[in-house]
């Protein structure tokens, strides 16, 4: 009996990225797109590529959105792919073999970031792996932002990487960091974490040193420097926003 494989894509105004992403998922038995009330033609693009579409507001909770997607998959294996990611032919072939194995409940997939025409092999991006392929019912997603799939049972890893093409411009990078830092600060605040001047000053410095020097981001040239700098800035935003939340100041405050 054939093992069913469903690809899940979360989208919100991703019309520019979706065509290439969805095309790379044609090897799957089905595609489910959960749309965050897009104002562009993301939904029509998804339907054009044969995807089932469901509209649900993200409301700042990525884990809840992914768990909602899981609840809409009947059975079999589930592959989570973001709109700015592409499954190569080699990875697709490896996935199709992996889902035939009965001893594993999930698989980690390495992600290869390409920033402005250059692949990043160092820094955070050089060693990043995500659990993105798993059996339906084996676990659930946790964490409103930087969410992770927690699966009960034995897992393994795949060899071929998932291609990631984020941040076409520096402005896009900044906008993304602003959004995610707000969500992360709120998540930390809700769990009782607070910030102080020491963290605001030294977290970003430590982050840059770790990524650019210890994790050899300098070997990725200028894109590596920009990436390390932006992730350092992200640390600053999170800790700064967390401090302000402790003072009762939100981004909606006048």
What's the topology of domain 5-164? Spore Coat Polysaccharide Biosynthesis Protein SpsA; Chain A (3.90.550)
pLDDT at 214 over 80: yes
Scanning the chain, the segments in alpha helix (DSSP H) are: 18-23, 42-48, 62-71, 89-98, 123-126, 170-190, 197-208, 221-246
Mean pLDDT on 76-102 = 97
- pTM exceeds 0.75 for this model: yes
Residue 251 pLDDT: 77
Nearest to 5 by CA among 135, 101, 102: 135
> Average pLDDT over the chain, rounded to whole?
94
Mean pLDDT on 218-232 = 94
Residue 159 pLDDT: 97
Residue 128 pLDDT: 86
Mean pLDDT on 55-80 = 96
DSSP 252: T
Beta bridge partners of residue 37, listed in sequence order: none
Mean pLDDT on 109-123 = 91
Q: For the chain, what is the largest distance between any 2 Cα atoms, rounded to a whole number of angstroms?
A: 60
Length of the chain: 254
CA angle 167, 168, 172 (to 5 degrees): 55
DSSP 15: T
**Domain ranges within the chain, ordered by starting residue:** 5-164, 170-246
Nearest to 229 by CA among 187, 170, 185: 170
Residue 253 pLDDT: 53
Q: Write out the H or E segment, with its range, that includes residue 11.
A: strand 5-11
pLDDT at 4 over 70: yes
pLDDT at 189 over 60: yes
Query: Are 150 and 138 in contact, with CB atoms under 8 Å apart?
Result: no
With cut-offs at 50, 70 and 90, classify the pLDDT of residue 254.
very low
Measured CA distances, 222 to 31, 120, 212, 228 (Å): 37, 11, 11, 10
- Cα 194 to Cα 42: distance, rounded to the nearest angstrom: 38
- Cα 23 to Cα 13: distance, rounded to the nearest angstrom: 17
Residue 167 pLDDT: 86
Question: Tokens 């974490």 belong to which residue?
Answer: 193
Residue 76 pLDDT: 95
pLDDT digits (tens, 9 = 90+) for 152-170: 999 999 999 999 998 888 8
- Cα 45 to Cα 231: distance, rounded to the nearest angstrom: 32
Query: Are 195 and 243 in contact, with CB atoms under 8 Å apart?
Result: yes
Taking only Cα atoms into account, the Rg of the chain, rounded to an integer number of angstroms, comes to: 19
pLDDT digits (tens, 9 = 90+) for 167-182: 888 899 999 999 999 9
Chain centroid offset of residue 184 CA: 14
Residue 169 pLDDT: 87
Chain centroid offset of residue 7 CA: 14
Mean pLDDT on 73-97 = 97
């Amino acid at each position: 009996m054939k093992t069913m494989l469903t690809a899940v894509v979360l989208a919100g105004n991703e019309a520019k990225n979706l065509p290439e992403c969805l095309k790379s998922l044609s090897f799957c038995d089905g595609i489910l797109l959960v749309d965050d009330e897009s104002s562009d033609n993301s939904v029509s693009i998804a339907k054009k590529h044969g995807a089932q579409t469901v509209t649900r507001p993200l409301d700042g909770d990525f884990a809840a959105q992914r768990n909602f997607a899981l609840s809409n998959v009947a059975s079999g294996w589930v592959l989570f792919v973001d709109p700015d990611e592409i499954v190569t032919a080699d990875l697709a072939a490896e996935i199709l073999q992996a889902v035939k194995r009965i001893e594993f409940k999930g698989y980690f997939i390495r992600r290869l970031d390409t920033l402005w025409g250059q692949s990043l092999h160092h820094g955070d991006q050089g060693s990043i792996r995500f659990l993105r392929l798993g059996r339906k019912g084996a676990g659930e997603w946790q964490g409103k932002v930087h969410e992770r799939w927690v699966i009960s049972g034995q897992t393994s890893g795949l060899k071929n990487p998932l291609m990631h093409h984020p941040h076409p411009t520096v402005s896009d990078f900044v906008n993304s960091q602003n959004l995610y830092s707000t969500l992360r600060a709120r998540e930390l605040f809700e769990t009782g974490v607070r910030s102080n001047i020491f963290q605001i000053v030294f977290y970003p410095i430590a982050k840059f040193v770790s990524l650019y020097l210890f994790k050899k981001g300098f070997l990725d040239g200028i894109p590596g420097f920009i990436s390390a700098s932006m992730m350092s800035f992200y640390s600053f935003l999170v800790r700064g926003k967390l401090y302000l939340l402790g003072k009762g100041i939100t981004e909606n405050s006048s």
